[in-house]
Structure 1
Amino acid sequence: MSIVEPSRRTFLSWLSKSGLVLAAAGTTVVGRTAEADQQDVLVFTNATLIDGTGTGPQPGTTIVVAGKRIIAVGRHGIAPPAGVRVVDLRGKYVLPGLWDMHTHTMDLEQLLLPLYIANGVTSVREMWGTAYVRQVHQRIASGQVLGPRMVVASNVVDGPHSMLVNLWGKVSPEQVRTKDEAKAAVRKAKRDGADFVKVYSHLDDDTLSAIADEARRLRLPIAGHVPDKLSVVRGSDLGMRTQEHLYALYVDVSSARDEIRTIIQNTPVDPNDPFGYFFAMRALERQAIKSYDPGRAAEVFAALARNRTALTPTLVVLKLFTFPPELVRKPELEKYVPKWVVEQRWALQSVPPDQQEANRAFYEASVRLVRDAAEAGVTMVAGTDGGFLAPYILAGFCLHDELELMVRIGFSPMQAIQSATRDAARTVGLGHVSGTVSPGKFADLLVVDGNPLADIRNTQRIHAVVANGRLIDRAERERMLAKVEEDAKRIPPPPTALRAAPCCGPSALRY
C-alpha cells in the first residue's frame, strides 16, 4: 500500500532505527519517499536470503522494497509499523531475479513475456535486435506491458551470404563486405538504440576489426558468434564481451588446430546453400574436439580470462543437438505453446542409433571444455536461446533447465545461480543495479519453496516473483500461466513463409 504523510514519517523513523543496511545516499528511501507520496513499499520478513554474492544462506532476513528499488536488507530489531505491507517469507528462500543471457523474443510476446516473469526471469539479453524486439522493449520499459528488463542487441551484423537472410519473415541481418560497411553497420546500431553489437559467423578479420574499432569509439560492446574464420582469442582481443555456443573454441583447443583452420580458410560459402557451410563448420568442430589439447586449451582460457570475455555455453541447446528427442521434449509444457509451433517448429526427428553414441561423445567432450574453462577462471553466463525458436527451449522454463544442466556437469549450485545473477549482470555492465539482493538495486526477486543450494531444481519451486517492484504471488502467477495456456489455444499460425523459416529438425539452428 502507499504510505500517507503520517505513516511515512513513522516508517522512516522505523527504518532508521531498524538496524537494516540502507541504500547509499542518492538512492536511499528517505529522499525517494519524500518525493513520491504514492510509492509502494513492501517489507519481506523472515526470508532465507541467497543474495547472489557467493555468501551462504542468510536466515531471518528482511528485505525492504520501495517502488522499483531495494532500499534495505538485513535483520531488523523492531517490527515494521502499521500501514506497511509486510510479507512473511518464513520457510522461503529469496534469490535475485534471474537473467537469461541469450534470448529471442521474435514474436508472440503475449505468451513469452509472462512466461519469463512467471519463472522468475526478470531480465534478458535479446540477441537479435529487430524492430519488433525494440518495440517490445519500449512497451516493457514504459510500463505498458509486464515483462523482463531487456538488454537489446543490434540487428545481427554478418558477412556476405548470411544464412539469416529472410529467415524470420522479411527480417534479415546487416551484411557487410568491407570495413566501411562494417563501421556503417555499427553507426546504424547506435542510431537504433542498441545496447551492444551482435556479430555473426561470416565476418572476416577485416570486418570484425572495423566493427570493434567503431564500436569502441561509440562505446558499444560487441558480442555474439566468433566468426568461423577467426580464433576465439582474436575475437576476445578485439573486445567481444561474450562468445556464444562455444563456436570456434572447439577448433582452438585442438592439437589439429592449424590443419583445421586451413580447411576453414579454404572452404567457400555457397551463396545458394549458406546452411551447408554452417553445418560443415559444426562438423569440423566435432572432429576437432576429438583431439583436445589441455595445454593449448589453458592458453586460450588464460586469454579469455585476461580479457574478461565470458562464455555463454547454452547447454540446453547442446542437449538439443546431442540427445534423443524423447529426452529433450517436455510434453507438460506444450500447453503453453500454440499447436502449430509444436507441429511445425518443434517436429524433431529421431536420431539413428549409430549417431547417438557419437552425439553422446560430443556432449561429454563439450561439457569437459566448459568445466575446464570455468576452472581456469573464464566467466560463464547462463543463456538458452529461449523463446520459440528452438524445439522445447521455452522461454523462462529453459533457464531453470540450463541451471540444472550446469550443476549436472560439475558446477556448484552457487556457481550456477551466479551465472544467472551476479555474473550475468556484471557482464552486461549492470552489476551496480542488478544481479544481487543489495540496497539500491532493482527490486527483482525470486522466492522459492526450497533451498537451491541443496538442490538446484528448487529454483523451479516458485512461490513468488518480484519484477520491477511488483509482487506476483503464487495465486497471480498461476493466473498468468493459465492465461498463457488459454491464449496459446487461440493464436493462429503466421504466414507460411514465416512459419517455415525456423525449421528445427535434428540440425536445429542456434543463434
Structure 2
Amino acid sequence: MKKRKLLGVGISLSLPLLLLLPAQSERNGSPLSAANAPAVVIDGAQIWDGTGRPPIRDAILVIRGARVEALGPRGSVQAPQDAVTIPAKGKTIIPGLINTHGHVGMTKGLKSARENYTRDNVVSQLKQYARYGVTTIMSLGTDFEPMSEIRGAARPEEPVRATVFTAGRGFTGKNGYPAVLPGNAGVPREVDTIEEVQSQVQELARQKVDMVKIWVDDHWGHYSKIRPELYRAIIAEAHKHNLRVMAHLFYLEDAKELVKAGLDGMAHSVRDREVDGELIQALKARKTFAVPTLVREESTFIYAEPPAFLDDPFFSRWADPLVVRQLKDPAYGARIKSDPDFSRYPGQLKTGQKNLKKLWDAGVTIALGSDSGPPARFQGFFEHRELELMVQAGLTPAQALLAATSNAAEALKISRDFGTLEKGKRADLILLDADPLQDIRNTRKIHKIWIGGREVD
C-alpha cells in the first residue's frame, strides 16, 4: 500500500475507504483486531440512539468487533454466549459525541504555535477528546504533514483515540485574519489572486481533504478580511473538485453573501446581530448547516475571573495543573479584561444563543461544534459545556444531543457509519450513569466509552 500523504503530492486512498480498513481486518481475523475479543453485552440500560426515536428502555446492546451487532428491548435481542456482560440497569447509552469544529496539534499549555504541531501532540489531543466521549472531530483548517499518518479512525495497532477528519490548511486573504495573530504565521493559506485560489484548492483536492475552511472576519475592523471575489472563487473551485466548504464568519451580511456563493457550513454563529428571514430562507434552500460554537464565545471573557469549572473534577482530572494555575493567576484575568473589545464579548454569546434558537426553530440543520483546541479552549470538556450552553439557549436536551450526534454526522456526510446507534454501524458510544434527557449535564457522568468497539481507558 502506498503511503497516505496529506500535504504533498496526494493521497492514495480516500478517507471513507481508510475508515473501512479496520473492519476489513476484523473480517480477516487479524490478531490485532477487535474481532478476537469477545462480544460485549450492555444489559439493562436505556438507549437513546440518536435517530430521533424515543429511548429504548431496559435494552440490550451487543458490540462485536468495531460494530454494533444488535440492540433493542429485552427479549428482542439474543445475547451471545461468549459475551462479556456489563450490567447497566439505571444507566443510559448515547452515541459518541461529534465535534464538527475543533483543532488539534497547535497548542501546548497556553501557547499556540506551528512548531507544536507534531504527531505526538496530535495523537495526545485526540486521546483527550476520547476521554470525554468526543469520539469524532473535524479538525478545521490548521493541520500539517503529521495529519497524513493520523487522519481517520485509529488503526487496530494504535491506542484508542477519537476519529479525526481534516480540512488541511484553510484560507484567508493576504495578511488577513487570523494569519496576523500571534502563533498563526504560516498556518492559514494567504491568497490574493484568483489564480492562487485555484492552485491551492487544487492542492487540497489532491490531498483529498474532507472539508475546505475559509476565515471571513476582521474582528470588529481590527484586521484585514478576505475579499468576496476570493472566497467566491474558493467555494466555486472547491465544488468543482467535490469538496465542501465551511467558513469562519461573524457578520450577518457576510453570512448572506457566503451562503449565496454556495457555502456548505457556517463554522460559527452570526454574532453581530440577530439573523433575519433572508438568511434563514437561504440556509434552508441551500441546505447549509450551522455550527454555533457558543463555548468559544464564552471563552473570550470567562477567564476575567477564575471560572468555577477549573475546580470541577470532570475538568481537572485531565487538565494540566500548570495551565490551571496560570488561569487562576489574577494577572491572566487582568490581561483578559484589558482587551479593548472585552465589553462586547458577553453580548456576542447572547446573540449567538438567540440565533441558535431562531435557526433551530426555523428548521436549519444545527451541528455541534466547539472550536476547541486553541489555548484555554479545552478539548473534550468544552464539548460538554457547549451542550449546556445550547440548552440554556432554549434547545431541549434531546435537541442538543441530536446536534452532537446524527445532525453532526449528516453535516459531515459521514452518517453511513457515524452519529447513531444502529445495527452494523460503528460502536462509538457512551454509557452514562444518569439520563441526559432529564439534565444535559448528565453527559458528564461517564461510566464507560467505546470507540470502534474498543473501550477507552
Q: How does the TM-score come out when normalised to structure 1?
A: 0.71
Residue 165 of structure 2 is matched in structure 1 by: 151
Q: Secondary structure at the match of 1:130?
A: coil
Tell me which amino acid in the other structure corresponds to 1:470: R
- Provide structure 2 residue ranges, at least 5 long, that are not aligned to the other structure: 1-19, 107-120, 217-224
Identity %: 26
**What does 1:168-247 align with in structure 2 at a 5 Å threshold?**
168=183, 171-201=186-216, 202-226=225-249, 231-246=254-269
Which 10-residue stretch deviates more, 221-230 or 406-415? 221-230
For the aligned residue pairs, the C-alpha RMSD in angstroms reads: 3.1
Q: After the TM superposition, which residues 491-502 of structure 1 pair with which residues of structure 2 at under 5 Å, given as runs?
A: none
Choose which of 101, 109, 115 in structure 1 pairs with 2:128: 115
Alignment correspondent of 2:350: 364
CA distance in structure 2 between the partners assigned to 1:368 and 1:343 by the alignment: 34
Between the aligned partners of 2:26 and 2:154, the Cα distance in structure 1 is: 22
Would the alpha carbon gap of residues 133 and 408 (structure 1) be closer, same or farther in structure 2, given more than 3 Å must change? farther
**DSSP 3-state at the match of 1:117:** helix
Q: CA deviation at 1:206?
A: 1.8
**CA–CA distance in 2 between the matches of 1:138 and 1:327?**
35
Displacement of 1:207 after TM fit?
1.5
Indicate how the Cα distance of structure 1 residues 344 and 360 shifts in structure 2: closer, same or farther if over 3 A, else same: closer
Aligned partner of 1:507 in structure 2 is none
- Structure 1 residues 365, 140: CA separation in 2 closer, same or farther (over 3 Å shift)? closer
CA deviations over 1:241-292 (Å, ceiling 9, x no partner): 211222xx34xxxxxxxxxxxxxxxxxxxxxxxxxxxxxxxxxx3xxx3xx5
Kept after mapping to 1: 8 A contact 2:305/2:333 = no
**Structure-2 separation of matches of 1:438 and 1:79:** 16
1:324–1:356 Cα contact (<8 Å) kept: no
Map of 1:160 onto structure 2: 174
State yes or no: 1:314 paired with 2:293: yes
Contact 1:165 1:171 in 2 (8 A): no
Shift of 1:317: 1.4
- TM score, norm. by length of structure 2: 0.78
CA distance in 2 between counterparts of 1:194 and 1:94 reads: 32
Residue 382, structure 1, aligned to residue 382, structure 2: no
CA deviations on 1:95-124 (whole Å, 9 max, x unpaired) are: 001011211112434542222111110000
- Residues paired across the two proteins, number: 398
What CA distance in whole angstroms lies between the structure 2 residues aligned with 1:232 and 1:325? 30
Instruction: Identify the residue that residue 102 of structure 1 maps to in structure 2.
Output: 101
Q: For residue 102 of structure 1, give the secondary structure of its aligned residue in structure 2.
A: strand
Q: Which residue does the alignment assign to 1:130?
A: 143
Could you report, residue by residue, the CA deviation over 1:309-363 in whole angstroms, capped at 9, with x for unpaired residues?
11111111111234463364632335644455456789343648x9987654443
Picking from 384, 391, 400, the partner of 1:407 is 391
SS in structure 1 at match of 2:150: helix
Q: Shift in Å at residue 400 of structure 1?
A: 0.5
3-state SS of paired residue (1:386): coil
Bigger mean CA offset, 132-141 vs 200-209: 132-141
Does the Cα contact within 8 Å between 1:156 and 1:197 map onto a contact in 2? yes
- Paired residue type of 2:195: D
Equivalence for 2:403:
419
- Whole-Å Cα distance in 1 between the matches of residues 366 and 27 of structure 2? 41
Q: 2:252 and 2:393 mapped to 1: Cα distance?
A: 29
Amino acid at match of 1:121: V
Paired residue for 1:270?
none
- Secondary structure (helix, strand or coil) at the match of 1:184 reads helix
Structure in which a larger fraction of residues adopt helix = 1
**DSSP-derived class of the 2:414 partner:** coil
CA–CA separation in structure 1 for the residues paired with 2:137 and 2:83: 31
SS of 1:330's partner is helix
Does residue 44 of the first structure (1) align with residue 42 of the second (2)?
yes
Determine the C-alpha separation between the residues in 2 that align with 1:226 and 1:366: 12
SS of the residue corresponding to residue 59 of structure 1 reads: strand
What is the CA distance between 1:167 and its match in structure 2?
4.4
1:45-64 aligned at under 5 Å gives the runs 45-64=43-62
Report which stretch shifted further, 311-320 or 461-470.
311-320
Contact 1:158 1:174 in 2 (8 A): yes
Where 1:203 maps in the other structure, the secondary structure is coil
Counterpart of 1:457 in structure 2 is 441
Is the CA contact (8 Å cut-off) linking 1:124 and 1:149 kept in structure 2? yes
In structure 2, the CA distance between the partners of 1:470 and 1:196, relative to structure 1 (3 Å rule), is same
Match of 1:440 among 404, 424, 435: 424
Residue 68 of structure 2, aligned match among 70, 86, 101: 70
Inter-partner Cα distance in structure 2 for 1:216 and 1:360: 36
SS of match in other structure, 2:203: helix
Amino acid of the residue matched to residue 47 of structure 1?
A
Give the conservation status (yes or no) of the 8 Å contact 1:345–1:390.
no
Q: Aligned-pair distance for 1:239?
A: 2.6
Of structures 1 and 2, the larger Rg is shown by 1
